Amino acid sequence: MRRFSADYIFTLEGEPIQNGIVVTDDLGKILAVTNEKALSDPNIERFNGVIVPGFVNAHCHLELSHLHQKIEKGTGLIPFIKNVIGKRQEEEEKVINAMKKADEQMFQNGIVAVGDIANQSISASVKEKSNIKYHTFIEMLGFDPAKAEATIAQALKLQTHFQNSSSITPHAPYSLSKELLKNLTKFCKKVNNPISIHNQENEEENFLYRYKDGPFMEFFKEMNINVDGFKAQSKNSLQTLIPFLPDNQPILLVHNTYTSLKDIYFTKRFNLKINWCFCPNANLYIENKLPTFDFFKHNNYPITIGTDSLASNDQLCLLSEMKVLQKNIDYLSFTQLLQWATINGAKFLGFDNDLGTIATGKTPGLNLISHLKNGKLSDKSTVKKLI
């Protein structure tokens, strides 16, 4: 049994508890949370700072970890994609070792669960042995409407390699057909299948959907991708695809760098289980631009946080992402930011029975955040995994 105390305990089940105590068993299961005075008991592990639940990384690409520092910053999305395609082939041992190191880095940075994208089966063995809880999203790419059913069948075959929680998901608006979404929605009527889709990561995606023109058309030609069946929609990508998404599954829209206020209001017309995911360091790495966060101020959908991959980030650290968000969103309280980093992601991934808040019976992990300034994160803030 262990007992932890700090200046404040942010359980996210109620108000922060000043000088509270969290009692756990040796495996981290919460046995009690109290507000008794902790000053005199020598058995209590006392810390300066605040104790919070373990973090949930809602969006990552573990299998790209070997591309760390291999891709130039600030190129824009399309050159970034070309670089990933050109550089991702590597010896299996090197790829696996890079994933193991990335997994351990996330664990040490207080991350307890990850929503991870997979195009191959290579990450399965790492996830099975990890201390982190993973949900794997098997990613589907397919612009050819005639191949929609075959694309889903191929994804389901790949899914059999993953023993942990998993589902199949489309990649991004610029790499799918309406037929693929229609077939996926039909499939989703029968099974539990959360969806995670990259959304409006660059302006060219919206331009493609509005006019069937621009850099993506050049990219498709270069990659020998047939887009004859694709028609200009005269509206942004999100507004085009929203009507085709399943209404019975949680949906994660990732990045949203070029999502407009009109797009956000459009999503409200549909009874969908939408969640937003911000990956600010990756946005800065690739496009050197952040989403217009003010647009999301009055949206009614949960917000989560992701790190993206080491191909587009210097580190896999949710606290680092939180610092960028804290600095760039005036209206964001520390409690709200913590919810984005913990319980919202846990709920989306279906892990909230055990993760996301500090409550009796849960095993959420405990993180110590130190060096807050005026109740908010500062550049000097650090995270330490307690259990």
pLDDT digits (tens, 9 = 90+) for 38-92: 556 788 999 999 999 999 999 999 999 999 999 999 999 999 999 999 999 999 9
Co-location of 291 and 150 in the same domain:
yes
**What is the predicted pLDDT for the residue at 42?**
80
Co-location of 239 and 124 in the same domain:
yes
**What is the predicted pLDDT for the residue at 40?**
65
Q: What is the DSSP string of 187-246?
A: HHTTS---EEEEE--SHHHHHHHHHS-SHHHHHHHHTT---TT----SS-HHHHHGGGS-
**What is the predicted pLDDT for the residue at 299?**
87
Co-location of 22 and 164 in the same domain:
no
Co-location of 36 and 69 in the same domain:
no
Q: What's the structural domain count of the chain?
A: 2
Summarised one tens digit per residue, pLDDT across range 94-110 is: 999 999 999 999 999 99
Report which DSSP code applies to 45: E
**What is the predicted pLDDT for the residue at 43?**
87
In contact, 21 and 34? CB cutoff 8 Å = yes
**What is the predicted pLDDT for the residue at 37?**
65
**What is the predicted pLDDT for the residue at 36?**
74
Ranges of the chain with pLDDT below 70: 37-40
Residues 6+ apart with CB under 8 A from 274: 251, 253, 267, 301
Co-location of 47 and 153 in the same domain:
no
Question: Of 199, 140, 144, which is closest to residue 173 (Cα–Cα)?
Answer: 199
In contact, 323 and 340? CB cutoff 8 Å = no
Range of the domain at 300: 55-353
**What is the predicted pLDDT for the residue at 146?**
92
In contact, 141 and 111? CB cutoff 8 Å = no
Co-location of 134 and 243 in the same domain:
yes
Pure H helices in the chain? 77-87, 92-108, 124-128, 148-159, 178-188, 203-211, 215-222, 237-241, 261-267, 280-286, 318-328, 334-341, 343-349
Co-location of 101 and 29 in the same domain:
no
Helices (H) and strands (E) in the chain, counts: 13, 17
Residue 168 tokens read as: 């199949």
